[in-house]
Amino acid sequence: MRMSNDTSGMGTGAGASDESGLQNSNAQQTNGNNNRKTPTRFFYDHPAVKNHGKGIALQDLVSFMESFNDYVMSRIKGVGADQYTKSTGQLFETFSAKETKDELLAELADAVAYINFIAIKVIALQIKETE
């Protein structure tokens, strides 16, 4: 169900959704941060969210992760770039060896997977609250 390979993070205009199911928020554009995107109904209607608690198919889990990762990349190119891109590269490049443990890469991979699982849970809970 991945809607787009576009990870530009630029959207299609105020309040308009792009093919990845992400939407530029009018409030964020008013505040001058038009690079930040918010999830739209696309995630609410995703089979992984709708089937939560009933059994999520592996392909739906992977599709959700791909789509949510598109959202993550749009944030990296938007608000993340504003905060962490320096004239010499990325802020994390200046971290010492002590700050960057060997185990970190494996932990990051696990964290990304668990964050996607939590995103499904949070969206499912939000839907239940609005019903």
Please give the residue that has the higher pLDDT: either 4 or 70: 70
**3-state secondary structure (DSSP) of residue 24:** strand
CA distance 107 to 35: 28
Burial class (CB within 10 angstroms; exposed 0-12, middle 13-18, buried 19+) of 129: exposed
Q: What is the pLDDT of residues 21-62, one digit of tens each?
A: 444 433 333 333 443 455 667 788 899 999 999 999 999 999
* Averaged confidence pLDDT in the chain: 73
Q: What is the pLDDT of residues 83-93, one digit of tens each?
A: 778 888 987 78
The confidence score (pLDDT) of residue 124 equals: 95
Please give the residue that has the higher pLDDT: either 79 or 126: 126
Q: Residue 39 forms beta bridges with which residues?
A: 22
